[in-house]
Amino acid sequence: MGKYDTISKRLIQTYPQDFLCFTLERDDVEFLAVLETEQPTVDAHRADSFIRARIGEENVLLHYEFQTTDSSTPMPRRMAGYIGRAIEQYDLPIHSTVIYLRPDAGQNDPGHFIQSRFGCQIVIQYKVIRLTEVEGQRVLEAGHSGLIPFASLMKPPERMGSEAWMRTCVDRATDLPLDESARGDFLTALSVLGGLVHDRKMIADLISKEGLMDLIRESSFAQYLLEQEIEENKEQWIKQGERERAIEDILDVLAIRFGLSETHPLSARIAAIDDLQRLKQLHRSAIQVSNIEAFQDMLEA
């Protein structure tokens, strides 16, 4: 889980009522509970956030997905999966929303999954919110505290520059009635999210000028994000090490069995493969094939 996902989920789970009112565009909604997001399938799927709420006399399920960039799997297909499993698991009316953080993300998300086959049609709709299209000043004025860290990603007032808008968001955050610990966590979220759109050095300079850097440094949330980033980097290093060993193993087998040299074009092709599972399959093939041509056929398959 990346830091932007972590921040978004923490904010929505800390300020669920604010997100309910914002995404549903109504105030007559009552937060009831944050629900477990892991969905029971053969391969576990974890949605970002599920919230149970009440509108009038009806209990409903609110589902949220935060996207920093476009999804590698088409978002309509992902959402259809999440929504279908949630209907089965919770048996509640469901309202799903995808919130795109970066300005260039989600531009082609249609907000629906449609399949027409064999005389039947499946239609699953969900709401798409691109923060860059949201009027940021209106959000600040609405008083929904949980959305303030996201406001810097929204559309600023006309003719207001990046630094002025970021300062406006920081000032609004520091005005909130929070204790020092909570304020530090809040400013951490605001500054990290703001870096998706605004210059990070400008944000750091602004935070320093406002005398808020120590609050962020001492924030337990900032420490958690740092530890998470270190762990994620460790995992990447481990995976990279496994990949390099897998490539070496394949090349060793091919060199011993077929005399493949390090300068052979096939060696370069193998070294360019990133997929660890693919490399493991090729290692087995290198052991089993009868000649180098057969291995090359496996590589090109």
Compute the distance between CA of residue 51 and CA of residue 46 in angstroms, rounded to an integer. Answer: 14
Cα-based distances in Å from 259 to 21, 133, 244, 282: 67, 60, 20, 17
Residue entry with tokens 């041509």: 293
Structure tokens at 182: 């909570």
Over 50: is that where the pLDDT of 143 sits?
A: yes
For residue 43, what pLDDT is reported?
45
Least confident span in 137-141, 176-180, 220-224: 220-224
Q: Contact, 149 vs 26, CB < 8 A?
A: no
Cα-based distances in Å from 279 to 236, 244, 258, 290: 17, 10, 18, 19
pLDDT tens, residue by residue, 55-80: 989 999 999 999 999 888 899 999 99
Structure tokens at 52: 């149970």
Compute the distance between CA of residue 72 and CA of residue 8 in angstroms, rounded to an integer. Answer: 20
Structure tokens at 196: 């998706």
Over 90: is that where the pLDDT of 23 sits?
A: yes
SS3 letters across the chain? CCHHHHHHHHHHHHCHHHHHHHHHCCCCEEEEEEECCEECCCCCEECCEEEEEEECCEEEEEEEEEECCCCCCCHHHHHHHHHHHHHHHHCCCEEEEEEECCCCCCCCCCCEEEEEECCEEEEEECEEEEHHHCEHHHHHHHCCHHHHHHHCCCECCCCCCHHHHHHHHHHHHHCCCCCHHHHHHHHHHHHHHHCCCCCHHHHHHHHHHCCCHHHHHCCHHHHHHHHHHHHHHHHHHHHHHHHHHHHHHHHHHHHHHHCCCCCCHHHHHHHCCCCHHHHHHHHHHHHHCCCHHHHHHHHHC
- HSE-CB at 269 with a 13 A cutoff on CA atoms is 12
For residue 230, what pLDDT is reported?
65
Least confident span in 128-142, 155-169, 194-208: 194-208
Over 50: is that where the pLDDT of 146 sits?
A: yes
Enumerate the domain spans of the chain: 1-133, 134-218, 223-300
CATH label, 1-133, candidates 2.60.60, 3.30.479, 3.40.1350, 2.40.360: 3.40.1350
Structure tokens at 207: 């935070």
Which of the pair, 121 or 244, is modelled with greater confidence? 121
pLDDT tens, residue by residue, 281-293: 888 888 888 888 8
Q: What is the pTM of this model?
A: 0.73
The overall average pLDDT reported for the chain is: 87
Q: Give the N- to C-terminal CA distance of the chain in Å, as an integer.
A: 33
pLDDT tens, residue by residue, 172-193: 988 888 888 888 888 889 988 9
Which of the pair, 8 or 72, is modelled with greater confidence? 8
pLDDT average, residue stretch 111-120:
93
pLDDT bin (cut points 50, 70, 90) of residue 89 is: very high
Angle between helices 220-258 and 180-194 (to 10 degrees): 40
For residue 37, what pLDDT is reported?
65
CA torsion 188-192-198-204 (nearest 10°) is 50
